[in-house]
Amino acid sequence: MAEQISTPNLAQLPPEMLDFTLLKTTGALAPRLGRLSIPGRKTILTPVFLGNSSRGTIPHISQDNFRKSIGLNGLYMALEDFVEKHPQKTPPIFQLDAPDPLRQFNSIPNETLVVLGARRQPPIYSPIANTNTEVGLLTSVGYKSISSDYYAAAARKLHPDIVIGLADIPFGQESVGLKRKDKMSDRTEVWTRDIIAKRDGIDKGEPRYNIFAPILPIDRDLQSWYLEHLVDDMISKISGVAIYDAYLLDDLPEELHHLPRLSFHAPASPQEILRQVSLGMDIFTIPFVSDATDAGIALDFTFPAPTTTTSPTRQTLGVDMWQESHAISVTPLSASCTCYACTKHHRAYIQHLLAAKEMLGWVLIQIHNHAVLDAFFVGIRTSIANGTFDRDVAAFEAFYEPTLPEKTGRGPRVRGYQFQAEEHGKPEKKNPKAWKKDIEEKKLKGEKVKLMAAHGQQPNRKKEVQDVIDDEALIGLVDLQGVDVVELENIKIEDDKS
Amino acid sequence: MAPVPMPSALSFELLGKCSVTKARAANLQLPHGPVPLPIFMPVATQASLKGLTPEQLEETSCRLCLNNTYHLGLKPGQATLDAIGGAHKFQSWPHNILTDSGGFQMVSLLKLAKVTEEGVRFLSPHDGSPMLLTPEHSISLQNSIGSDIIMQLDDVIATTSPDLARMTEAMERSIRWLDRCIKAHKYPERQNLFCIIQGGLDLDLRRQCTAEMVARDTPGIAIGGLSGGEEKTSYCKVVDTCTGLLPENKPRYVMGVGYPEDLVVSVALGADMFDCVWPTRTARFGNAITARGVLNLRNAVYAEDFGPIEDGCQCTCCRSQEAGGLGITRAYIYHVTAKETAGAHLLTMHNVHYQLNLMKRAREAILEDRYPAFLKEFFATLHGDKKKYPEWAVTALKGVGVDLMVD
Ligand SMILES: [Zn+2]
Ligand SMILES: [Zn+2]
């Protein structure tokens, strides 16, 4: 890739100061190229995406694999992942006596840029309503609320590189009344002023963090006071903005245009990422990557799209690795991918791992999916640099299906705090005993029950029951109680030659 | 039946023997590289070790791991294994693999398995169809898997069974099945077939079985049917009796054994190879194996413990970041265990490393002829107070010349 990173003159900046340079822009609502640098961290070229962490790590990725197999320079972390002991006890991470507790506690490499927000991405609806002084969170042990003071103190103790200011957003609420919207704006302004004051109050010599101010997902008039004050009083104190509704980028005051923009408007597809990029978005967390991984879907798209014109149908954006058709495929997840999973393993193994419910299946798909996204963003940057972005987007939309494939397989067990508000019932686990009935019925009908040799059987011959075995089988979940033993002895042997 | 001399795909080099106990240190050269003995082999049941990539497993210093024939036979199945060219290719593992015969899994998992002279009859947990696993099928499957060490199909019954007649039948049948396995084995020049000594806790049966199996001259020898809930004292007697009758120039594998105490005592009794699912399974529940015992890191006392999982441990997790490790703390494991799968991956790495390193330290002690001192230090660190030492271990070690009660 013809990407050049010329290092800005960091020596002249205070130690933690963020530098964002726009390398290319073509107007207000247009894609842009930028370079974000913080001393001590790897320089990040935008548009880019951050790893979306859960409890200190990208789901399924242990910290050594993060270093070896995930090429990301930035990580998003949520305070709600660390404060379940609050308020009864001081959460452990705050007791860690280290110069850099957030990194140290979670074993994050020094060169990785860390962004801290209050909520996971996407946030799960918390029934604890925000108040004038507190926001509701969902921790792994339940709903909590924290004050703006607490948040600032946490940021000071943990010193991430970037802190997203608290926003008063009633997540999960279908419609929000006008009065409530006024309140959103008022509270968010108070909290933004508050964290700026707290950050500026940090003693000289103690590390400081950079603040991204939230831009609310409401019309400009409804947050006009807040936006005006951002521009008038706070502009020199903030280093970026966090955008909750990408389609309101039009409303962003011009005075804030030079700041990096982090999207908290979760895109559902690569096309939606492209749309946000085309409006001038710079930084993303992309929850659909892990969602696809959990569903066993290996992402399979490149930007710009391949230029083959032969196929009359649109290509799928991902490969459902649950499908048995992969069972003897020794091809990689994606032919052009150079990730660890694609260079070392093949589809047959990954399909097996999913079917066998082995955790490694999700590890490999997650590594691959991050590599696909990483390459996607490299492609976006090159395309903007070449001035072909709009054309490339049109070609991408024509080449690929508009949405990710439907999920068919069962994902790994989902913990309560990972549930998403919109997540409906998962496919039900088939009753493992169902096949016993089959056999009983066959016997009643006088049908012959064949005896198969233990070798030579086809893989996954019956989808409904393949779920029965997983590694729990080792501890005896596969029970055959209630099946008549005597029957077994009178069955003729017939090798399965198929 | 006249024993047929068997080709072997391994070489065994005895490097040293403890001058007091029966412990040995050796090099075992297998088709996919050398393996130091004594050794612990982690169990990658379904061709994957609890979420670790082959690279991560390699980093624990593992060069020989287990796959289970029963599981691989069901998934991905023999057709797939044949199409892909065996389990090494299937899981991208460049080092050695040992597979069991599938018989033990069947008998322990499927309560309704029924053993006849022909083989083990059972219902497929896939679809309930009746199946039969014969010695020939088992070897055919293991030939398809391509493992470096393959195990004979044996007639396994619980050692605690009081039925001497059934025990004798199982022992004798296991010998007959060994002959069938030897006959069915297609690739003796690249896969090493190990026999499995049966006979329950009856030492006479074990002696008879050992004599018969040694006569068949397989490349390696396993002692089976143990770790089924028998008393540890009886277990030690069986191991001691069998190793006493085994040739010195072959590896000896005690199946299904994996607690650290069992390992160091069994080494003293002359055994070389061990496998167990416990170290990796227990990691999922937040249990860390350390020289001072097993710690459940899900216990709230570890929530604020910012030390490594085990002080001084050189595994990838415990080693400090300055030393190229991750510097993972007990507090972080507490934070992440059972909430993100990465927690299990981290602890699995530590536990496997612990087991392998324990055997490495034992080997060094044997080579320097200080194994008795190693044993004393091991028990002192684990239990502190001598009164807490398990009686079975004290007795067993006394039998091979080490009195743990004397410093
Ligand atoms: Zn890949
Ligand atoms: Zn360790």
pLDDT digits (tens, 9 = 90+) for B100-159: 988 777 666 655 678 899 998 887 776 777 888 899 999 999 999 999 999 999 998 877
The burial of B27, by beta-carbon neighbours within 10 Å (0-12 exposed, 13-18 middle, 19 or more buried), is given as middle
Please list every residue in chain A whose beta carbon sits closer than 8 Å to the beta carbon of residue B128.
435-436, 438-439, 465, 480, 483
CA distances A366 to A286, A296, A362, A396, B118, Å, are 13, 9, 6, 23, 46
- Quick count: other Cβ atoms within 10 Å of Cβ A354? 25
Q: Which of A82, A363, A454 sits opposite B51 (nearest CB)?
A: A363
Closest C-alpha to B278, from B301, B298, B291, B294 = B294
Does the CB of B87 have a partner CB in chain A at under 8 Å? no
Q: Which of A383, A416, A449 is the last residue of a domain?
A: A416
Say whether both A354 and A483 belong to one domain: no
Q: Within a domain: residue A268?
A: yes
Nearest to residue B172, comparing CAs of B215, B217, B117? B117
CB of B86 less than 8 A from some CB of A? no
CA torsion, points B198, B200, B204, B209, in degrees to nearest 10? -10
Mean pLDDT of B157-183: 91
Residue B280, min C-alpha distance to chain A (Å): 12
CA distances from A182 to A131, A264, B144, B252 (A): 13, 21, 70, 77
Tell me whether the omega of the peptide bond preceding residue A122 falls within 30 degrees of 0, making it cis: yes
- Rounded-to-integer distance, Cα A329 and Cα A348, Å: 5
**Beta-carbon separation of B129 and A451 below 8 A:** yes
Q: Distance between CA atoms of B196 and B102, rounded to whole angstroms?
A: 13
**List of domains in chain B:** 28-271 (3.20.20.105), 283-400 (no CATH)
* pTM, full prediction: 0.90
Q: How far apart are CA A274 and CA B34, in angstroms?
A: 52
> Is the link from the previous residue into B260 a cis peptide, with omega within 30 of 0?
no
Same-domain check for residues A77 and A111: yes
Residue A425: its pLDDT value, please?
31
What pLDDT sits at residue A413?
Answer: 60
Q: Rounded to a whole number, what is the distance in Å from the CA of B301 to chain A's nearest CA?
A: 11
3-state secondary structure string, A83-137?
A: CCCCCCCCCHHHHCCCCCHHHHHHCCCCCCEEEEECCCCCCCCCCCCCCCCEEEE
pLDDT at A444: 57
| B126–A469 C-beta distance less than 8 A | yes
CA-wise closest residue to A471 among A355, A320, A362: A355
Residue A3 resides in a domain: no
A177 burial type by CB count under 10 A (0-12 exposed, 13-18 middle, 19+ buried): exposed
Q: How many domains does chain A have?
A: 2
User: Residue A95 above 90 pLDDT?
Assistant: yes
Residue A494 exposure: Cα atoms within 13 Å on the Cβ side: 10
Ramachandran bin of B386, using left for φ above 0, alpha for ψ from -120 to 50, beta for the remaining angles? alpha
Q: Would you state the pLDDT for residue A463? A: 31
Residue A398 tokens, joined: 């024509």
CA of A294 to the centre of ligand 1 (A): 16
Q: Ligand 2 mean position to A281 CA, how many Å?
A: 43
Subunit contact A454:B73, Cβ cutoff 8 A: yes
pLDDT tens profile A343-385? 999 999 999 999 999 999 999 999 999 999 999 999 999 999 9
Which ligand is the nearest neighbour of the Cα of A341? Answer: 1
Instruction: For an interface test with A, give the residue of B109, B328, B329, B350 to mutate (most A CBs within 10 A).
Output: B109
A181 and A32 in a single domain? The answer is: yes
Beta-carbon neighbours within 5 Å of ion ligand 1: A 333, 337, 339, 341-342, 368, 371
- Determine the distance in angstroms separating the CA of B279 from the nearest CA of chain A, rounded to an integer: 14
| pLDDT-wise least confident of A166-175, B213-222, B338-347 | A166-175
B355 is in an annotated binding site: no
Which member of A57, A92, A451 has the closest CB to residue B331? A92
Domain co-membership, A398 together with A452: no
Instruction: Check the annotation: does B315 bind a ligand.
Output: yes
A96, A224: one domain: yes
CA angle B210-B214-B215, nearest 5°? 120
Phi then psi for residue B383, to 5 deg, are -110, -20
Asked whether residue A122 is domain-assigned, the answer is yes
Final residue in a domain of this structure, among A401, A416, A431: A416
Together in a domain, A411 and A443: no
What token pair was written down for B186? 């297609």
Lowest mean pLDDT among A284-298, A386-400, A409-423, B392-406: A409-423
Q: Which residues of B are catalytic?
A: 100, 275
Residue in A353, A459, A493 nearest the CB of B48: A353
Smallest CA–CA distance from A53 into chain B, residue: B340
Could B331 and A105 be called an inter-chain contact, meaning their C-beta atoms sit closer than 8 Å? yes
For the domain that residue A52 is a member of, what is the CATH number? Answer: 3.20.20.105
Is residue A78 a part of any domain in this protein? yes
The ipTM assigned to this model is 0.96
The pLDDT, as a whole number, for residue A47 is 98
Q: How many residues does chain A have?
A: 498
DSSP code of A405? P
Which residues of chain B does A454 touch, with a Cβ-Cβ cutoff of 8 Å?
A: 73, 102, 122, 131-134, 137-138, 141
Task: Let me know whether A355 and A483 are in one domain.
Answer: no
Would you state the pLDDT for residue A445?
58
The Cβ-side half-sphere exposure at B84, using a 13 Å CA radius, reads: 27
B381: phi then psi, degrees, rounded to nearest 5? -70, -40
Residue B265 in contact with residue B397, Cβ under 8 Å? yes
Query: Minimal Cα distance from A482: which residue of B?
Result: B112
Do residue A471 and residue A344 come from a single domain?
A: no
Which chain A residues contact residue B332 at CB under 8 A? 56, 105-107
A284 CA from centroid of ligand 1 (Å): 21
CB < 8 Å from A in window 238-267 of B: none
In chain A, residues with a C-beta closer than 8 Å to the C-beta of B71 are: 356, 469, 473
In-domain check, residue A216: yes
Percent residues over pLDDT 90 in chain A: 69
Residue B295: φ, ψ to 5°: -110, 130
CB nearest to B76's CB, from A96, A106, A459:
A459
Closest-approach residue (CA) in chain B for A436: B128
Pick the residue of B91, B299, B341, B353 with the most A CBs within 10 A to test the interface with A by mutation. Answer: B341
Q: Taking CB atoms and an 8 Å cutoff, what residues of chain A touch B51?
A: 60, 358-360, 363
Inside any domain, residue A459:
yes
Q: Please give the distance of CA A84 from its chain centroid, rounded to a whole number.
A: 21
C-beta neighbour count of B385 within 10 angstroms = 7
Min Cα–Cα distance to chain A from B86, Å: 11
CA distance A111 to chain B (A): 13
The answer to whether B349 and B316 have CB atoms below 8 angstroms apart is: yes
Residue B251: phi, psi to the nearest 5? -70, 145
B-chain residue closest to A97, CA distance = B306
- Left if phi > 0, otherwise alpha if psi is -120 to 50, otherwise beta: which for A229? alpha
Identify whether residues A135 and A58 lie together within a single domain.
Answer: yes
Averaged confidence pLDDT in chain A:
83
Instruction: Give buried/exposed letters for A129-167 (b at 16+ CB in 10 A, else e).
Output: ebeeebbbbbbbeeebbbbbebbbebbbebbbbbbbbbb
Please check whether residues A467 and A364 belong to one and the same domain: no
Tally A–B CB contacts below 8 A: 243
Query: In the numeric block, which tokens belong to residue A253?
Result: 């005051």
| Average pLDDT of span A74-103 | 94
A290 and A363 assigned to the same domain: yes
Q: What tens digit of pLDDT does each residue of B313-335 get?
A: 999 999 999 999 999 999 999 99
Confidence category of residue A113, pLDDT binned at 50, 70, 90: very high
> Residue A14: what pLDDT?
61
In the chain, the amino acid numbered B47 is A
In this structure, what token pair is assigned to residue A48?
């880019």
Is residue A77's pLDDT more than 70? yes
Name which of A330, A412, A458 is nearest B341 (Cβ-Cβ): A412
Residue A313 lies in a domain: yes
B310 or B101, higher pLDDT: B310
Alpha carbon of B295: minimum distance to chain A alpha carbons (Å): 19
Chain A contact present for B200, CB below 8 A: no
| Cα–Cα nearest to B47, from B73, B30, B72 | B72
Give the C-alpha distances (Å, rounded to integers) separating A159 from A90, A156, A255: 17, 5, 27
What residues contact A73, with CB distance under 8 A and at least 6 apart? A41, A42, A43, A44, A48, A111, A112, A113
Instruction: Inspect the interface and report whether the beta carbons of A488 and B127 lie closer than 8 Å.
Output: no
Q: Strands B120-123, B114-115: parallel, antiparallel or unpaired by DSSP?
A: antiparallel
Tokens of A206: 């103690």
Question: Which domain covers residue A364, as residue numbers?
Answer: 17-416
Q: Which of A384, A401, A416 is the last residue of a domain?
A: A416
Examine residue A474 and state whether it is found in any structural domain, yes or no: yes
Confidence of residue A496 (pLDDT cuts 50, 70, 90): very low
Q: Find the closest chain A residue to B327 by CA distance.
A: A107
Question: CB of A374 within 8 A of CB of A51?
Answer: no
How high is the pLDDT of residue B74? 85
Is A461 in Cβ contact with B56 (below 8 Å)? no
In the stretch 90-119 of chain B, residues with CB closer than 8 A to chain A read: 90-92, 102, 109-112, 114
Q: Is B46 touching A (CB cutoff 8 A)? A: yes
A258 is in an annotated binding site: no
pLDDT value of position A15? 64
Q: Among B90, B42, B44, which residue's Cα sits nearest to residue B353?
A: B42
Q: Which of B132, B278, B347 should one mutate to test binding to chain A, selecting the residue with the greatest count of A CBs within 10 A?
A: B132
Q: What is the CA radius of gyration of chain A?
A: 26
CA B178 to chain centroid: 20
Model confidence at A488, pLDDT cuts 50, 70, 90, reads very low
Q: Does B137 touch chain A (CB under 8 A)?
A: yes
Tell me if B350 is assigned to a ligand binding site: yes
Whole-number average pLDDT of chain B: 94
| Ligand in nearest proximity to the CA of A319 | 1
Residues A464 and A381 in one domain: no
Q: What is the DSSP string of A213-241?
A: EEE-SS-GGGGHHHHHHIIIIITTT--EE
CB contact under 8 A, B340 and A55: yes
